[in-house]
């Protein structure tokens, strides 16, 4: 009886310790995120796929291969600044969450650089 109690306590301790380190890892999983604060990894990935498709590019257009947190690529730095711009545009001019909002696609339309004059 005593022995199984010890085992139970040990197992519970391991579960709690393991569980909290799991959540810590998840929270710390994103290392260099300034615009998407509070996103979990899955939400961030959904957003990343939309960014890539909005510009018609792959992840490597902005990211150093094998090092997603790195800011070494100019395109990533430019993209972060664009994300801030989009955020403030929507906050200041298109605040209705059910209305049409500005996104990367609004300007880029699947291209690396938006067209400034009609085709
Ligand atoms: C147009 C540029 C762009 C494209 C394309 C892009 N990303 Fe990102 N990514 C960023 C920026 C900018 C950030 C930082 C966002 C912030 O500061 O909130 C980021 C952050 C991340 C992070 C978080 C890294 C960390 O821990 O700090 C991951 C992971 C990531 N991107 C993966 C991807 C994947 C996978 C793809 C392809 C499906 C992709 N990204 C496509 C610009 C891009
Ligand atoms: C209001 C229109 C507009 C929106 C919205 C917009 N962009 Fe841009 N973006 C531009 C223009 C214009 C340029 C070209 C700037 C230049 O050549 O200096 C550009 C260029 C870029 C570049 C390349 C920078 C370079 O120097 O070549 C990246 C990367 C980029 N945008 C990412 C994004 C992402 C990601 C989003 C959404 C978060 C976004 N943009 C939303 C207008 C926009």
Residues above pLDDT 90, as percent of the chain: 74
**Does any domain span residue 73?**
yes
Q: What is the pLDDT of residues 34-68, one digit of tens each?
A: 999 999 999 999 999 999 999 999 999 999 999 99
Q: What is the pLDDT of residues 86-104, one digit of tens each?
A: 999 999 999 998 999 999 9
The yes-or-no verdict on residue 14 having pLDDT over 50 is no
**Does any domain span residue 16?**
no
Does 44 or 15 have the greater pLDDT score?
Answer: 44
Ligand 2: which atom is nearest the Cα of residue 103?
Answer: 5
Mean pLDDT over the full length of the chain = 85
**Does any domain span residue 28?**
no
**Does any domain span residue 14?**
no
Does 118 or 18 have the greater pLDDT score?
Answer: 118
Residue 88 CA to residue 100 CA, distance in Å, equals 15
**pLDDT recorded at residue 2:** 58
**Does any domain span residue 61?**
yes
From the list 48, 31, 61, 60, the residue with the least C-alpha distance to 104 is 48
Q: Which ligand is nearest to the CA of 74?
A: 2
**pLDDT recorded at residue 6:** 54
Q: Which ligand is nearest to the CA of 40?
A: 1
Ligand 1 centroid distance, CA of 93 (Å): 26
Tokens describing residue 73: 């690529």
2-39 burial, b at 16+ Cβ within 10 Å, e below that, comes to eeeeeeeeeeeeeeeeeeeeeeeeeeeebeeeeeeeee
Give yes or no for a contact between 71 and 32, defined as CB atoms under 8 angstroms apart: yes
Domain assignment of residue 87, given as a range: 46-119
**Does any domain span residue 59?**
yes
CATH number at residue 93: 1.10.468.10
How many domains does the chain divide into?
1
């Amino acid at each position: 009886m005593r022995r199984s109690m010890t085992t139970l306590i040990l197992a519970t301790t391991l579960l709690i310790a393991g569980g909290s380190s799991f959540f810590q890892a998840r929270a710390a999983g994103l290392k260099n995120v300034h615009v998407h604060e509070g996103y979990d990894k899955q939400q961030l990935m959904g957003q990343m796929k939309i960014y890539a498709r909005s510009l018609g590019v792959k992840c490597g257009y902005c990211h150093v291969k094998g090092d997603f947190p790195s800011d070494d690529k100019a395109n990533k730095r430019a993209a972060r600044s664009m994300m801030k711009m989009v955020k403030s545009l929507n906050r200041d001019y298109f605040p209705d969450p059910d209305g049409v909002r500005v996104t990367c696609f609004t300007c880029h339309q699947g291209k690396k650089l938006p067209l400034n004059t009609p085709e």
